[in-house]
Amino acid sequence: MTEPETTPRRRGRPARTDAATGPGARERILTAARAEFAAHGYDKTSIRGIAKAAAVDPALVHHYFGPKEEIFAAAVEAGFAPALLAPDMLPAGPREELGERLARFILRLWEDPGTREPLLAVVRSAVANEKAAEVFRHLVSRRLMMPIAGELDVPDPRLRSELAAAQLVGVAMLRHVIKIEPLASADIDDVIAQVAPAVQRHLTGD
Protein backbone atom coordinates (compact mmCIF):
# COMPACT_ATOMS: atom_id res chain seq x y z
CA MET A 1 0.00 0.00 0.00
CA THR A 2 1.47 3.39 -0.96
CA GLU A 3 1.26 6.56 1.13
CA PRO A 4 0.33 9.63 -0.96
CA GLU A 5 2.54 12.37 0.44
CA THR A 6 0.28 15.27 -0.43
CA THR A 7 -2.95 14.04 1.18
CA PRO A 8 -3.65 14.94 4.81
CA ARG A 9 -4.59 11.79 6.78
CA ARG A 10 -7.17 11.54 9.54
CA ARG A 11 -7.87 8.94 12.24
CA GLY A 12 -4.99 6.73 11.16
CA ARG A 13 -6.80 5.12 8.25
CA PRO A 14 -4.58 3.37 5.72
CA ALA A 15 -3.81 5.32 2.60
CA ARG A 16 -5.73 4.58 -0.59
CA THR A 17 -4.82 5.07 -4.22
CA ASP A 18 -6.86 7.43 -6.39
CA ALA A 19 -8.42 4.39 -8.03
CA ALA A 20 -10.10 3.52 -4.73
CA THR A 21 -12.59 6.34 -5.18
CA GLY A 22 -12.89 5.93 -8.94
CA PRO A 23 -15.86 4.68 -10.94
CA GLY A 24 -15.19 0.99 -10.16
CA ALA A 25 -15.26 1.55 -6.38
CA ARG A 26 -19.03 1.07 -5.93
CA GLU A 27 -18.97 -2.23 -7.80
CA ARG A 28 -15.91 -3.37 -5.87
CA ILE A 29 -17.55 -2.50 -2.54
CA LEU A 30 -20.66 -4.48 -3.51
CA THR A 31 -18.58 -7.52 -4.51
CA ALA A 32 -16.61 -7.29 -1.26
CA ALA A 33 -19.85 -6.90 0.76
CA ARG A 34 -21.34 -10.03 -0.84
CA ALA A 35 -18.19 -12.01 -0.05
CA GLU A 36 -18.02 -10.70 3.54
CA PHE A 37 -21.70 -11.39 4.30
CA ALA A 38 -21.36 -14.84 2.69
CA ALA A 39 -18.26 -15.73 4.70
CA HIS A 40 -19.17 -14.26 8.09
CA GLY A 41 -22.95 -13.75 8.15
CA TYR A 42 -24.77 -10.51 8.89
CA ASP A 43 -23.83 -10.14 12.55
CA LYS A 44 -20.10 -10.59 12.13
CA THR A 45 -19.74 -8.45 8.99
CA SER A 46 -18.71 -4.83 9.53
CA ILE A 47 -18.52 -1.75 7.30
CA ARG A 48 -14.83 -1.62 8.26
CA GLY A 49 -14.30 -5.23 7.11
CA ILE A 50 -16.08 -4.59 3.81
CA ALA A 51 -14.01 -1.44 3.26
CA LYS A 52 -10.80 -3.36 3.96
CA ALA A 53 -11.74 -6.16 1.54
CA ALA A 54 -12.59 -3.59 -1.15
CA ALA A 55 -9.44 -1.55 -0.39
CA VAL A 56 -11.41 1.66 0.13
CA ASP A 57 -12.06 4.00 3.04
CA PRO A 58 -14.98 2.98 5.31
CA ALA A 59 -16.43 6.47 4.73
CA LEU A 60 -16.76 5.64 1.04
CA VAL A 61 -18.80 2.51 1.85
CA HIS A 62 -21.11 4.68 3.93
CA HIS A 63 -21.20 7.33 1.22
CA TYR A 64 -22.40 4.86 -1.44
CA PHE A 65 -24.70 2.66 0.65
CA GLY A 66 -25.52 4.22 4.04
CA PRO A 67 -25.83 2.01 7.13
CA LYS A 68 -25.08 -1.72 7.30
CA GLU A 69 -28.63 -2.88 6.54
CA GLU A 70 -28.63 -0.82 3.34
CA ILE A 71 -25.41 -2.35 2.07
CA PHE A 72 -26.79 -5.76 3.05
CA ALA A 73 -29.95 -5.00 1.04
CA ALA A 74 -27.85 -4.02 -1.99
CA ALA A 75 -25.64 -7.11 -1.61
CA VAL A 76 -28.67 -9.39 -1.23
CA GLU A 77 -30.35 -7.86 -4.24
CA ALA A 78 -27.20 -8.36 -6.31
CA GLY A 79 -26.78 -11.95 -5.09
CA PHE A 80 -30.45 -12.69 -5.43
CA ALA A 81 -30.77 -11.03 -8.85
CA PRO A 82 -30.98 -14.28 -10.88
CA ALA A 83 -33.95 -15.50 -8.79
CA LEU A 84 -35.72 -12.17 -9.32
CA LEU A 85 -36.01 -13.02 -13.03
CA ALA A 86 -38.40 -15.88 -12.18
CA PRO A 87 -41.61 -13.87 -12.69
CA ASP A 88 -40.44 -12.87 -16.19
CA MET A 89 -40.37 -16.44 -17.49
CA LEU A 90 -43.70 -17.52 -16.00
CA PRO A 91 -45.92 -16.29 -18.84
CA ALA A 92 -43.56 -17.74 -21.47
CA GLY A 93 -45.30 -21.07 -22.06
CA PRO A 94 -48.44 -23.15 -21.50
CA ARG A 95 -50.33 -22.49 -18.26
CA GLU A 96 -50.35 -26.20 -17.40
CA GLU A 97 -46.54 -26.18 -17.32
CA LEU A 98 -46.25 -23.17 -15.00
CA GLY A 99 -45.23 -25.35 -12.04
CA GLU A 100 -42.61 -27.17 -14.05
CA ARG A 101 -41.14 -23.90 -15.39
CA LEU A 102 -40.95 -22.29 -11.94
CA ALA A 103 -39.53 -25.45 -10.29
CA ARG A 104 -36.91 -25.84 -13.02
CA PHE A 105 -35.92 -22.17 -12.94
CA ILE A 106 -35.51 -21.92 -9.15
CA LEU A 107 -33.95 -25.35 -8.53
CA ARG A 108 -31.46 -24.90 -11.39
CA LEU A 109 -30.21 -21.69 -9.72
CA TRP A 110 -29.32 -23.82 -6.69
CA GLU A 111 -27.41 -26.35 -8.83
CA ASP A 112 -24.87 -23.82 -10.10
CA PRO A 113 -22.34 -22.91 -7.37
CA GLY A 114 -22.02 -19.42 -8.88
CA THR A 115 -25.67 -18.67 -8.13
CA ARG A 116 -26.02 -21.04 -5.15
CA GLU A 117 -23.39 -19.41 -2.93
CA PRO A 118 -24.99 -15.93 -2.91
CA LEU A 119 -28.41 -17.53 -2.25
CA LEU A 120 -26.96 -19.56 0.62
CA ALA A 121 -25.35 -16.44 2.06
CA VAL A 122 -28.69 -14.65 2.03
CA VAL A 123 -30.49 -17.59 3.66
CA ARG A 124 -27.80 -17.93 6.36
CA SER A 125 -27.99 -14.24 7.24
CA ALA A 126 -31.80 -14.16 7.17
CA VAL A 127 -32.08 -17.19 9.46
CA ALA A 128 -29.56 -15.79 11.95
CA ASN A 129 -30.58 -12.13 12.14
CA GLU A 130 -33.98 -10.42 12.29
CA LYS A 131 -32.76 -7.27 10.50
CA ALA A 132 -31.38 -9.39 7.66
CA ALA A 133 -34.64 -11.39 7.59
CA GLU A 134 -36.58 -8.14 7.17
CA VAL A 135 -34.44 -7.06 4.23
CA PHE A 136 -34.87 -10.49 2.63
CA ARG A 137 -38.63 -10.54 3.37
CA HIS A 138 -39.25 -7.22 1.64
CA LEU A 139 -37.15 -8.15 -1.36
CA VAL A 140 -38.79 -11.55 -1.84
CA SER A 141 -42.26 -10.18 -1.23
CA ARG A 142 -42.08 -7.15 -3.54
CA ARG A 143 -39.79 -8.42 -6.26
CA LEU A 144 -40.57 -12.14 -6.43
CA MET A 145 -43.87 -13.21 -4.87
CA MET A 146 -46.07 -10.25 -5.83
CA PRO A 147 -45.11 -10.39 -9.52
CA ILE A 148 -45.67 -14.17 -9.58
CA ALA A 149 -49.04 -13.76 -7.83
CA GLY A 150 -49.90 -11.15 -10.46
CA GLU A 151 -49.67 -13.83 -13.14
CA LEU A 152 -52.22 -16.10 -11.42
CA ASP A 153 -55.99 -16.00 -11.94
CA VAL A 154 -56.93 -17.99 -8.81
CA PRO A 155 -58.33 -16.99 -5.39
CA ASP A 156 -55.62 -16.01 -2.84
CA PRO A 157 -52.86 -15.79 -5.49
CA ARG A 158 -50.28 -14.45 -3.00
CA LEU A 159 -50.81 -17.23 -0.46
CA ARG A 160 -50.75 -19.81 -3.26
CA SER A 161 -47.56 -18.45 -4.77
CA GLU A 162 -45.94 -18.54 -1.31
CA LEU A 163 -46.93 -22.18 -0.76
CA ALA A 164 -45.40 -22.99 -4.16
CA ALA A 165 -42.27 -21.10 -3.13
CA ALA A 166 -42.29 -23.02 0.19
CA GLN A 167 -42.03 -26.31 -1.70
CA LEU A 168 -38.98 -25.04 -3.59
CA VAL A 169 -37.37 -23.37 -0.56
CA GLY A 170 -37.76 -26.65 1.36
CA VAL A 171 -36.16 -28.69 -1.43
CA ALA A 172 -33.24 -26.23 -1.58
CA MET A 173 -32.84 -26.37 2.22
CA LEU A 174 -32.89 -30.17 2.49
CA ARG A 175 -30.77 -30.74 -0.64
CA HIS A 176 -28.16 -27.99 -0.31
CA VAL A 177 -28.08 -26.89 3.35
CA ILE A 178 -29.02 -29.94 5.42
CA LYS A 179 -27.90 -32.27 2.59
CA ILE A 180 -30.19 -35.13 3.51
CA GLU A 181 -29.95 -38.29 1.40
CA PRO A 182 -31.23 -39.46 -1.04
CA LEU A 183 -32.52 -35.95 -1.91
CA ALA A 184 -29.05 -34.36 -1.79
CA SER A 185 -27.69 -36.69 -4.49
CA ALA A 186 -30.86 -37.28 -6.53
CA ASP A 187 -30.83 -36.35 -10.23
CA ILE A 188 -32.10 -32.77 -10.39
CA ASP A 189 -34.39 -33.54 -13.34
CA ASP A 190 -36.06 -36.32 -11.32
CA VAL A 191 -36.52 -33.91 -8.43
CA ILE A 192 -37.99 -31.25 -10.74
CA ALA A 193 -40.34 -33.82 -12.28
CA GLN A 194 -41.57 -34.85 -8.82
CA VAL A 195 -42.07 -31.38 -7.34
CA ALA A 196 -43.51 -29.73 -10.48
CA PRO A 197 -47.05 -31.15 -9.95
CA ALA A 198 -47.11 -29.88 -6.34
CA VAL A 199 -45.96 -26.43 -7.46
CA GLN A 200 -48.48 -26.46 -10.32
CA ARG A 201 -51.31 -27.37 -7.96
CA HIS A 202 -50.45 -24.47 -5.64
CA LEU A 203 -50.18 -21.98 -8.50
CA THR A 204 -53.23 -22.88 -10.54
CA GLY A 205 -55.29 -25.37 -8.50
CA ASP A 206 -54.81 -28.03 -11.23
Fill in the DSSP letter of residue 174: I
Question: Smallest distance from the beta carbon of 105 to a second copy, in angstroms?
Answer: 16
Distance CA 106, CA 64 (A): 31
Query: Which of 86, 84, 39, 33 lies closest to 62 in space, CA to CA?
Result: 33
Q: Which of residues 14-53 bind a second copy (CB under 8 A)?
A: 41
- Given a contact cutoff of 8 angstroms between Cβ atoms, the answer to whether 98 and 59 are in contact is no
Hey, which residues between 100 and 139 contact a second copy (CB under 8 A)? 123-124, 126-128, 133, 136-137
- Quick one: which of 60, 154, 177, 188 contacts a second copy (CB under 8 A)? 177
Question: Min. distance of Cβ 179 from a second copy in angstroms?
Answer: 6
Give yes or no for residue 188 binding a second copy (CB under 8 A): no
| Sign of the torsion angle spanned by Cα atoms 26, 32, 34, 40 | negative
- Backbone phi and psi for residue 186, each to the nearest 5 degrees, phi listed first: -65, 150
| Closest distance to a second copy from the beta carbon of 169 (Å) | 4
Q: How far is the CB of 10 from a second copy (least distance, A)?
A: 34
| Contacting residue, 15, 85, 89, 166, with a second copy by CB under 8 A | 166
Q: Per rule CB under 8 A, is residue 92 in the interface with a second copy? A: no
Please tell me whether residue 73 binds a second copy under the rule CB under 8 A: no
Closest approach of Cβ 100 to a second copy, in Å? 15
CA angle 168, 171, 176 (to 5 degrees): 125
Q: Are 150 and 91 in contact (CB under 8 A)?
A: no
Nearest to 58 by CA among 16, 106, 115, 100: 16
72: number of Cβ within 10 Å:
25
141 interacts with a second copy by CB under 8 A:
yes
Q: Return residues touching a second copy (CB under 8 A).
A: 41, 123-124, 126-128, 133, 136-137, 140-141, 145, 156, 158-160, 162-163, 165-171, 173-174, 177-183, 186, 190-191, 194-195, 197-198, 201-202
